[in-house]
Structure 1
Amino acid sequence: MNLTKLAAAAVLVASAGAAFAAPQAVNPGGSLGTNPDGVSFVGLANGVSTFYFDLVEVATPGFTTSFDLSADFWSVFAPATINGITVTGGSFSDTVVPASGSALFTGLSAGSYSISFDSTGSFGSFVTGTVTATAITTPVPEAGSMALALAGLGVVGLVASRRRKV
C-alpha cells in the first residue's frame, strides 16, 4: 500500500517537473531557432549540454551584418559551476570561461552554430538561462561615394598646388 502511494507521488513529481520546464526551455541537443532572442535553455549540470541555432542576415542594401551572442545562465536546485562555454560554426570557434553569470561572443557572421555549456554540479542540479543574438549592421561605402571623395581630394590638392605657385 505504501509502495503504491510512493510510486504515485514519484510520477506526480516527475510529470510536474516536466510540465514546468517543457513549454519554455530547449533541452540539450535541441534548436534555439533562428536569430535567438532571449530563448531559454536547460541542461544537466554534470557534463556538456549542446544547443544549435542559425544566424540569418537580413538583407539591407549598403550594409553588412555581424552578430553578437550573449548567454546569461544560472544554476537551479543546487549549485553548479560553468567550466566553459564554447560557440562553434563556420570558421568561428571561441571558448569563454565565465567569471560571472554571463558570456559574450562578438563578430559572428550568418550561418549555423552550436553553443555548449560544460558544467559540474551536485546531483539534481541544472544549468538554465537565455541566449540572445544581436544583429549589428555596418554601412558599407558605395564605389560612387569613394570616387567622389577621391575626386574632391584631388581638387583640394590641385587648388593647394596652384596657391603655392602664385
Structure 2
Amino acid sequence: MRRLIPALSLMIVATPVAADTRLLAFDPADRVTRALTRGVTLEVDRGLFGAITVRRILSTSARGSADIRRGGPDEARRVLPDGATEASVYTLPMEGDGRGLARALCPGADATFLVLGRVRAGRPIDMHATGRWADGTYRHCVTLSYLYRGEWSAGPRSTVVETP
C-alpha cells in the first residue's frame, strides 16, 4: 500500500502531460454522407489511458467548425435504427457554425444531437444525427458513415493572451 500511493500521485500529476489533442480526418463512405458533409475532421482529446472525447467537428472541404458538448438526453439514443450500437451522445450547439450543421442534418428540429460509437484512429465511424422537435418528440434524421483518412497532432494550446 505504501508504494501504491506515490504511484497514484505520480499518475495524477502526469495526467495533463499525457493527455493530448489530436485531429482525426474521415472521408464520406456513401452518397448520403458525401452530399451532407463531404468529410469531417474531429478534434479529439486523448486521455491518459487512451479514451477519446470529441471536442469539435471541422469541415474537411469548406471553412467551418462546430464545438460539440458531450452529453445529451437518453432519448437521442433511443430513436436510433435497429442494430445501431453507437451510444455516446453529443449536443450540437445552436450558435455559430453549429446552427448550420444542425439545420443541415435535422431540418426543422429545435435541438440536434450526434450519437457516435467509439472513436478510434484507423477505424471507420458512423454518426447518427437525431433531433428534438417542438412537440417534444425525438426522431432519427440521418446516419453518416465515414472511412478513416488520417491523424494529426494539434499544436500546443497557448494559455497566454497576446496583446497588440
TM-score with structure 1 setting the length = 0.24
Higher relative contact order (CA 8 A, sep 6+): 1
Higher helix share: 1
Higher strand share: 1
Tell which structure's C-alpha radius of gyration is larger.
Answer: 1
TM-score with structure 2 setting the length = 0.24
